[in-house]
Amino acid sequence: MKEKLLEINSLIDLLGWKDDRTIEDWCTENKVPVIKIGKKKYTVIDFVERFVALEIEKYVVANYDNPDKIMNALKEDNKSVLAELLDAPVTEKVKNKYIERNSKVTEDFLKELKAA
């Protein structure tokens, strides 16, 4: 279970705030639990990922004609289909590279958070 915990300070870069209390307020407003263990405060990464996914979905639904197809391409991490749906230019070499990839968008997001 420890691997699912994310230190509250890790959200500073993601949210753009500098104060832990503001981050805790954001967590409360968005129903993201804050857990105190010793001197540190944590949240469960699944709640943060769910919030990000919902925000992406809201944006896609509001700005694109084919939100279901785009969301499906995001969930499957199919970059070539996503690029076509977004009308982005894609070379055949790039298309083949990303069709074979089996990672998830959330895993990439987690890696970025852990690297910060």
Separation CA 7–CA 31 (nearest Å): 16
Neighbours of 36 (CB within 10 A): 9
- Determine if the pTM surpasses 0.75: no
Question: 4 or 13: whose pLDDT is higher?
Answer: 4
Taken in order of first residue, the domains within the chain and their CATH numbers are 1-63 (1.10.10), 64-116 (no CATH)
Give the pLDDT score at 19.
Answer: 82
Phi-psi label, residue 77: left if phi above 0, alpha if psi -120 to 50, beta otherwise: left
User: Would you give the end-to-end CA distance of the chain in angstroms?
Assistant: 21
Average pLDDT on 44-72 reads 89
Q: What is the mean pLDDT of residues 29-46?
A: 92
Is the pLDDT confidence value at 65 over 90? no
Please give the share of the chain, as a percent, with pLDDT higher than 90: 23
